[in-house]
Structure 1
Amino acid sequence: MAAVSVLALHGPRNLGAQRWTAVALMAMLWISPLCAASATLLSVRVAHHMALMLLLAPALALGWPSVRLGDPLAWAIGASLALAAWFVPSVYSFAWQSDAAYWALQLVMLGAAWQFWATWFAPATDSRPLIAVAAPALLAMAMGFTGALLTFAPRPLFAEHIFTTVLFDVLPLWDQQLAGLLMWTAGMVPMALLAFVRLGRLAGAPAEGARC
């Protein structure tokens, strides 16, 4: 975060707001009580992930628009896999027990999401409308599938939260179901809307061309 702050301080003035927004979001995600709470409630962990992917990552993409590589669809696949990996119980336990594993998973997910947004925002994507629709649609499907697994699982999937939820007088299964609902409402729905907006633009393009 310190490195990003230095880059924000010395960056172009027209990008200052986006860069300082990224710094503020980093502080919220990893310095504020939100980070500690994510180790207690799975629902807060999901909220943390959604903020990382849908707030911090696009802020980084807008603040450093020249830092981009590859294709938005490829990065959507990468971000989907990184997110799904978090909710494999054995992987979750490994990240819980190892600081290195935790930060590796966080950085992989952030890096993939950052590059998804950076390449999706790029002007070149406008000339590839199907990719512009498919990339957010893929992320929406991944979030929807993961959210469904969390919501409809008949028992708690993560032993780490069996006892931590007691601090908030919440049953582990309720917390897990709330996590799934958050994945839908805060993740799947915005990404699906993004895909539909792009699809609507694609559907309207021929008519606009005819008027010209």
Structure 2
Amino acid sequence: MNEPQAWTPYCGAAPSPAELLARWNFDPLLLLALVAAGGIYAWRAGEARHRRHRFAAAIALLAILFISPFCALTSALFAARVVHHVALTAVAAPLIVLAFASERIRPAGGLATWTALHALVFWLWHAPPIYAWALSGDAAYWLMQATLLGSAFGFWAALRRSPALAGVGALLATMVQMGLLGALITFSGGPLYAPHLVGPQLWGFSPLEDQQLAGLIMWAPAAGLYLAAALVLLGRWLRREARPALP
């Protein structure tokens, strides 16, 4: 692998443990975007209280990912970056979808299309050269975030409007591709991600150890989120099927 260069991603240079708690990101444009999103939702949505709570939870999660010191940690550790991407696509995206009544969200294209598109987007951004490019400037970084969240939003919205068994199949397919990508990252023979050649060493990890931890996170807990969702969906379908028909 080439010698490491000085990476300056959106969240700043990799912090040491002693610096982390001071590394909040108060980007005014980001703060304005989050406040505006919350304000527009509150003004126009007219949704039930439980839906408003889901949207508030999504905004709070986005604040943790992009404003709190966790944002800076993703510059140091690839494992933290994987947690960031999984939280964005498997937690924030479905929360946003569930914050609206199903009839208000009609994604173009079917569930199979969105399942394949989301998998393609996720794999592309974790290809080492493309990932390195994404951390080379703010525009590339936000393109990565927008396409990850956008494709995940489309996936979860399409899943919500699809038959239960089709949804279970899409969730299991996503689980498998997530686990496969995690396994490939875990069992790579050397460090793949140039922006994380130096940062992990500040935290007592070698670049390869950090990468292996990231792969394991993607392989097990991240894929497990989709398995859990599939089991919930399957359980609901079985309960509906078990109900006696009304005379």
Q: Is TM (by shorter chain) over 0.5?
A: yes
Q: Kindly tell me the number of residue pairs found equivalent between the two proteins.
A: 206
8 A Cα contact 2:47 2:100, kept in partner = no
Deviation at 1:202, TM superposition (A): 5.7
Residues 191 and 156 from structure 1, CA distance in 2 versus in 1: closer, same or farther, beyond 3 angstroms? same
Query: How far apart in 2 are the matches of 1:60 and 1:201?
Result: 21
Q: Within the alignment, does 1:178 sit opposite 2:217 as a pair?
A: no
Q: Which residue of 32, 57, 70 maps to 1:21? A: 57
Deviation at 1:55, TM superposition (A): 1.2
* Corresponding position of 1:192: 227
8 A Cα contact 1:8 1:20, kept in partner = no
* Corresponding position of 1:161: 196
Q: Within the alignment, does 1:4 sit opposite 2:37 as a pair?
A: yes
Deviation at 1:92, TM superposition (A): 0.8
Deviation at 1:81, TM superposition (A): 1.2
Deviation at 1:72, TM superposition (A): 2.5
**1:12 partner amino acid:** G
Q: Which has the higher helix share?
A: 1
* Corresponding position of 1:62: 98
8 A Cα contact 1:25 1:56, kept in partner = yes
Residues 74 and 156 from structure 1, CA distance in 2 versus in 1: closer, same or farther, beyond 3 angstroms? same
8 A Cα contact 1:137 1:192, kept in partner = yes
Cα RMSD after superposing both structures: 2.0
Residues 173 and 203 from structure 1, CA distance in 2 versus in 1: closer, same or farther, beyond 3 angstroms? same
8 A Cα contact 1:141 1:188, kept in partner = yes
Query: How far apart in 2 are the matches of 1:36 and 1:174?
Result: 19
Query: How far apart in 2 are the matches of 1:186 and 1:3?
Result: 32
Deviation digits for residues 132-170 of structure 1 (CA, Å, limit 9, x no counterpart) = 122111211111111001111111111111111111011
List, as ranges, runs of 4+ consecutive aligned residues in structure 1 with deviation greater than 6 Å.
Answer: 203-206
Residues 95 and 19 from structure 1, CA distance in 2 versus in 1: closer, same or farther, beyond 3 angstroms? same
Q: Within the alignment, does 1:45 sit opposite 2:66 as a pair?
A: no
TM-score of the superposed pair, with normalisation by structure 2? 0.76
Deviation at 1:205, TM superposition (A): 6.8
Q: Secondary structure at the match of 2:190?
A: coil
* Corresponding position of 1:120: 159
Query: How far apart in 2 are the matches of 1:194 and 1:59?
Result: 13
Deviation at 1:203, TM superposition (A): 6.8
Deviation at 1:184, TM superposition (A): 2.1
Query: How far apart in 2 are the matches of 1:23 and 1:205?
Result: 33
8 A Cα contact 2:184 2:215, kept in partner = yes
Q: Quick check: 61-70 or 46-55, which moved more?
A: 61-70
8 A Cα contact 1:73 1:134, kept in partner = no
Q: Which residue of 120, 134, 139 maps to 1:100? A: 139
Q: Quick check: 15-24 or 48-57, which moved more?
A: 15-24
**2:66 partner amino acid:** W
Query: How far apart in 2 are the matches of 1:89 and 1:38?
Result: 15
* Corresponding position of 2:67: 31
Query: Can you give the 5+ residue segments of structure 1 that lack an aligned partner in the other structure?
Result: none
Query: How far apart in 2 are the matches of 1:23 and 1:197?
Result: 24
Query: How far apart in 1 are the matches of 2:52 and 2:238?
Result: 36
Q: Secondary structure at the match of 1:182?
A: helix
Q: Secondary structure at the match of 2:75?
A: coil
Deviation at 1:196, TM superposition (A): 4.1
Q: Percent identity at matched positions? A: 35
Query: Can you give the 5+ residue segments of structure 2 that lack an aligned partner in the other structure?
Result: 1-33
Q: Secondary structure at the match of 2:90?
A: helix
